[in-house]
Every structure is written in C-alpha cells, then in structure tokens.
Amino acid sequence: MTSSTEVLERIGARVDPSVFDHLVAEALEQVVPVRPLLDPRRELGAAEIAALEQGGFELDPLVLDAAHPLIRSAAAYAALIGSSLSVAQAAARLHVAGSRIRQRLGERSLYGIKMRSGWRLPLFQFTDQGTVPGIDVVLPRLDPTLHPLSVVGWFTTPNPDLTYGDDEVPLSALTWLMSGRSTRPVMELASQIGELA
C-alpha cells in the first residue's frame, strides 16, 4: 500500500511525515463535528418516529464509515491541507520573501487557508514557473466565505460556460487559465459563484 507522503512526493510536495500527520489532525478537527451525530430515535417522540417510519424514512443513526459523506469530505480536506505549501515554501517557489506571500494572501491574489499552525496555500494555484496565469485576478472575485473544497472543486471541474473548439468541450477554470485564454469569463463566473450558493 502506498503511503500518503509517497503520493504527495509524486506531485512534487515534500512533506515530513510527522508534519503531514499534524496537518491532517488539524484539518480533521476543523471538519469533523465536536459532538457525535445524533440518534434520531432518542431525539424524537414516539408519534414523530411512527409518522416518519410510515413515510419511509430510515431513522437508524448513520454509520461513520468510509462511504459516509462527512468522512469523505474530511479525507479530501485533510489531503488538500497536507499537500498545501507553507508561507515559506510558497515564498521559495515564487522566489519572493515570506512577507510578500502574506501580502498577497491579504490581497487575495493568492489563495490560502488559515490554520492554527499558520497559512497553507493549496497547490492548484501554482505551476513550476510560478502561479497559474491570471489566477491573481480571479481569486479576489471569489466569495471569501466559500469552503476550500468548494474553491478547489470550482477551479478543477469542467464548466459548461467555459467551452473550447467546435465541439464546445467544457474546460475547468484552471485549464482555461493555464491555456492562456482571457481571464474575463473566469472572473465573471468567479463573481457569480457566491451568489449561487
């Protein structure tokens, strides 16, 4: 079985296993609820239970297994945080001082996730040469309250409003920007994403 750090190394992320474990634990604390999921049978009266069961509702508590959406989201979020760059790593990649990275985080021309241990900058916005072309003007248009998984999903999922060629193949915002196309349609879509939520 391949370890998490081996997978991260394949994408160019060099993370010490103990640091990665700490980041995963911190990420999970942000996603997993503090209190356990409720048992509906303990929270409802007999008449309510009977009415819901008659309507076809299942009232058994959800099992927190690998198929549960909460666990899958927690794993995706932990992977996002674990593969992200620290301010120092982002500064080294962009050949700037850490203060410039923090300034860009404040301007929202770089996307970061504030953790107790410091800022984490997801890899989707970086290339080998710097940052994705035009991403610095798109990021400030996104609603800052969007969950990080929503942000990454929006950038990486093909969008029917960003089509290419005679077949009008939908491209993701990230692919659109990486190909050097105009940032205007991506900026307009980014401005609307918060309104749709």
pLDDT single digits (tens) 58-111 = 887 766 666 667 778 888 888 898 889 999 999 999 999 999 999 999 999 999
The whole-number pLDDT of residue 100 equals 97
Question: Buried b / exposed e across 130-160, counting CB within 10 Å, b at 16+?
Answer: ebbebbbebbebbeeebebeebbebbeeebe
The whole-number pLDDT of residue 40 equals 75
The whole-number pLDDT of residue 148 equals 94
Domain count, the chain: 2
Q: Are 11 and 70 contained in the same domain?
A: yes
**From CA 115, how far away is CA 195, in angstroms rounded?**
26
- The domain in which residue 71 lies consists of 4-81
On whether the CB atoms of residues 125 and 84 are closer than 8 A, the answer is no
Q: Are 88 and 30 contained in the same domain?
A: no
Unique residue bearing structure tokens 């998984």? 149
**Can you tell me the mean pLDDT for 130-137?**
96
Q: Confidence band (pLDDT; 50, 70, 90) for 196?
A: very low
Q: Are 95 and 37 contained in the same domain?
A: no
Q: Are 67 and 105 contained in the same domain?
A: no
Sequence-distant (≥ 6) Cβ neighbours of residue 147 within 8 angstroms: none
Q: Are 187 and 90 contained in the same domain?
A: yes
Q: Are 88 and 77 contained in the same domain?
A: no
On whether the CB atoms of residues 31 and 76 are closer than 8 A, the answer is no
Q: Are 129 and 177 contained in the same domain?
A: yes
Residue 15 has pLDDT above 90, yes or no: no
Q: Are 181 and 90 contained in the same domain?
A: yes
Q: Are 177 and 142 contained in the same domain?
A: yes
For residues 189 and 68, the model is more confident at 189
**Bridge partners, 113 (sequence order):** 120
- Average pLDDT of every residue of the chain: 85
The whole-number pLDDT of residue 197 equals 46
**Can you tell me the mean pLDDT for 7-12?**
64
For residues 179 and 4, the model is more confident at 179
The whole-number pLDDT of residue 95 equals 96
